[in-house]
Amino acid sequence: MMNPVRPQARNEAGDLLFKCQHCASPLVVNAAAAGMTLNCQRCGNPTLVPVQSATPSPTAPTELTDLQRKLKENESQRTEVTGYINQLSIQLHRWKLRLQTLNERKTELEEERRRTT
């Protein structure tokens, strides 16, 4: 999902190019949304749309852009792993609830057996 790099941050249509505050994925919105909070298309977290486009720095040293790329990559992987952990935590919680229900049922059944004998 690599977007082609725009020659200019702000194009004719008045789009704003910026990065998600959480997962740093590149986002493009209409300039009318400047200053608003939108949900990121990738991670779903609310992120602030800047009034001005993030200015790409073509003069940045290669090492720095490489570090930024690695940092971004790391961040998106962190988001991904956090998502997995959250999912599994919910799953674990469900299984615990299920076990609790089964334990309660067991107690009920044992109670019933004691009464009938």
Nearer to Zn ion, 71 or 109 (CB): 71
Nearer to Zn ion, 80 or 108 (CB): 80
Nearer to Zn ion, 80 or 104 (CB): 80
Distances (CA, A) of 44 to 3, 5, 22, 40, 79: 19, 23, 9, 5, 11
- Closest approach, Cβ 58 to Zn ion, in A, equals 25
Q: Which residues contact Zn ion by CB under 5 A?
A: 20, 22-23, 40, 42-43
In this structure, are residues 45 and 39 in contact, taking their beta carbons and an 8 Å threshold?
A: yes
**How many Å apart are CA 115 and CA 108, to the nearest integer?**
11
In 31-61, where does DSSP find H-type helix? none
- Closest approach, Cβ 39 to Zn ion, in A, equals 8
- Closest approach, Cβ 60 to Zn ion, in A, equals 23
Tell me the backbone φ, ψ of residue 53, rounded to 5 degrees: -65, 145
Two tokens at 50?
A: 């800047």
**How many Å apart are CA 106 and CA 82, to the nearest integer?**
36
- Closest approach, Cβ 28 to Zn ion, in A, equals 13
Nearer to Zn ion, 17 or 40 (CB): 40
